[in-house]
Amino acid sequence: MHAIIHNYRRSIRKPSGNQMIIVVDGCDSREKAKAYVGKTVLYATGKKDIKGEVRSAHGNKGALRVLFETGMPGQAIGQEVKIE
């Protein structure tokens, strides 16, 4: 299944480098988003894949909070990721 990286998870002043918010097509509620918790997310950079894990739902519209193993580049925003 494919999803799109929406933005970093951030506070009012500082973004978290390895936590991202992703949006899945067809997932439009918090209940549907909870079904993805614990799944693996892969972001392909060309050289190697960066793995992450879905930790929780984010908000009430079906977005997911993903914790990646390393910091994510800014070019990742708007790019596609794969959920396994």
Residue 80 β-bridge partners: 4
| Side chain identity at residue 51, one-letter code | K
- Asked if the model's pLDDT at residue 58 lies above 90, the reply is yes
How many angstroms from the chain centroid is the CA of residue 14? Answer: 18
**If you average pLDDT over residues 54-69, what whole number do you get?**
95
Quote the pLDDT of residue 52. Answer: 96
- Asked if the model's pLDDT at residue 80 lies above 90, the reply is yes
Q: What tokens does 19 get? A: 């936590």
pLDDT interval class at 46 (50, 70, 90): confident
CA dist 9 and 23 (Å) reads 13
Domains, the chain: 2-83 (2.40.10.190)
pTM (2 decimals)? 0.88
